[in-house]
Structure 1
Amino acid sequence: MILYEILYLAVIVISFLTAAIILLQIHKTEKKIFFLAESLFFGFFGVARIFYYIWDFRDPNHMFWVLGVSTAMVAMAFLLFAIERKIIHGTKYAFTICAICASILIIIPFSNEIHVWIQTIMVTMLAPVGVIYFWVIAKRSTGEVRKLAIIYFFGIFIWASGQFFRGQLLRDVEWLYYITAPLLFISGNIIILYVLVKRVIELEWPNKIHHLFIIHSRGGINLYDYSFTAKDTAESDLVAASISGITGILQEITKSKRKLKLLDSVDVKIILEYGSYIIGALITEENYGILRKKLHTLITLFELKHADHLKQFSGSLRIYKGSKELIEDVFSPKDIYESKILK
């Protein structure tokens, strides 16, 4: 029984941890309503699990089970609201209303058997909506978002499987109810946390980039620069030369063969990538992995396109004036599924 309690307490802790982490990320994203709804979902789910814990291990009074189910339905209502608001149009929040009604219906003093069937029917009807939602995102999206969505989908699916095995009808099957279900909850939550903490905020990268410089390694000449904002960077040639100079000086001082990859000044960061002939410098607010990948791709394509001119560099910049299209193609948010999902 001690192992059962430890697993169950771990579920409660990780539920609140997930809710807190999502809440802390809200200020970094424009999708505040969805993130808030998701945070409330995991938070209320954690509260529901406290009531279930009391019922399972401390006091078998049916009231605690009822409070757990009712709170879990409120949690479901928050998630369904966010989903119906953004992707399932035409339902007029029917699923959300069903979840709210279920949370009220379950506290009406029916018999225990009726309560169990209310829970079973509602969970069976409503839980697949969330799973299907994340599958739709995975199917419709491309690039980085698809990877994120697929991982997230499996996390939600595993987590929902834990909910299924935790149903009161399976309580007599101890290995499912007390061991398998908590392990599925925890595993699903870990996957969800991985996506949220490591990658989801990276979907905001188009709002974080400011300016790009393509600099010739020899002499620090600014071959081309591009502004992602309305404001142009003053003295672009001077900035490019300074970046090249700093990287060269630091490498000389440290006597290291490893090249400088990042200049960090709290609010502003300069991500650096190197080719055979050029340096790519991206001024941004965050050092996201996806930005480094895109910068590396740009450097590779730029050198392939202008290999002969870069190798025999004459100082003429005219040939590089058509680089805008290449930059906009590489740094286009086209791999972000922007329709009405998660806006």
Structure 2
Amino acid sequence: MSGKNKLAKMREKEAEYMRNHAERQAQGSSAFETPPPYTDLASESTSSLVFSEASSFGVRSSSLPPAPALVPPPSPGFTHFPPPSPYTNHIFPSTFGVYESILSRTRTIGPHRNEPVLCIREHMRVKSGFDLVLHNGPDTSFEPLAGLTQKFFKRGFGISMPSSAAVLQPTQAGTRTFVPGSLDITEQVEPAAPSIRGRRLEFTIEVGRVRETFQWRERKGPGYSFRCRRHYVLLRRAADRPPDGAPPGSWPPAVQDDPESERDNTSGVLRESEYEDMEVVAQWDTEAIRGTKLTTFKFVGTGATGLLGPRWEVIAVLSGLHICIMEVDQSVAGTA
């Protein structure tokens, strides 16, 4: 083909393109209405485009499901400690007695002798692996909640409980307790620094997502130095801040005035000056023993709110009762 013919062909195609372009402009449609590979999409009868004022891009109105919310994966090696619920997740009554049985090594726990809720039993370690076991019911046929192992030739001991991730379930009696499971976590209760003002043992346990230290301390004073009369208090060291996970308005707890105590002007928590401004959260005493009643145990202050969690309740009760049993046994042996 000669050069003139080629030039004529090119001009003819150019003129045809310009005519087609002018027609499309007159009709108001895009020059690229259905280019492949979008031809199939354009043929769907139910499709439409929706434009927002903030964007020049369209999205199909029919139907892709909304994108799922982005949830960060849990950090490796992190154990979730469910925050305790206020005022509801109690395993024990706020005040209860411990009652001995003449014919067995089992002691019942309850607000009254005829209302047992839980029980503890002394065991031979070679059979059960524990020296003292707390059961989730008024007799030993119920699942164990915790087991205590005394250290040889020492005042310290270990308390084994379900893991921190254990949840609470309601029981038929209306109380709440751990889902039965293996006692796979052991917390240590160790003697604190010696003091001329009385014996001290302390432990560390998680409260929400942090671990706090608590100390059992013997209360010295008139009326507690003879026969079987003993009085111990459990102190919370982190008394100047609410427990981790505490809802707004739930702390500081309402407390009753005590002539031997003084209220901290900053937090409102009831303190006793002899305890170096630590908060009293539980106590037991053998002052009102009647017959086979071993002791009276009471949760007070933040300890009575449920904010410290169920595992704290278990270790507080089992450690306190073990100390009580040892103290009473030693006192009885000394007066025999």
TM-score (structure 1 length as normaliser): 0.25
Q: Which has the higher strand share?
A: 2
Pair member with larger Rg: 2
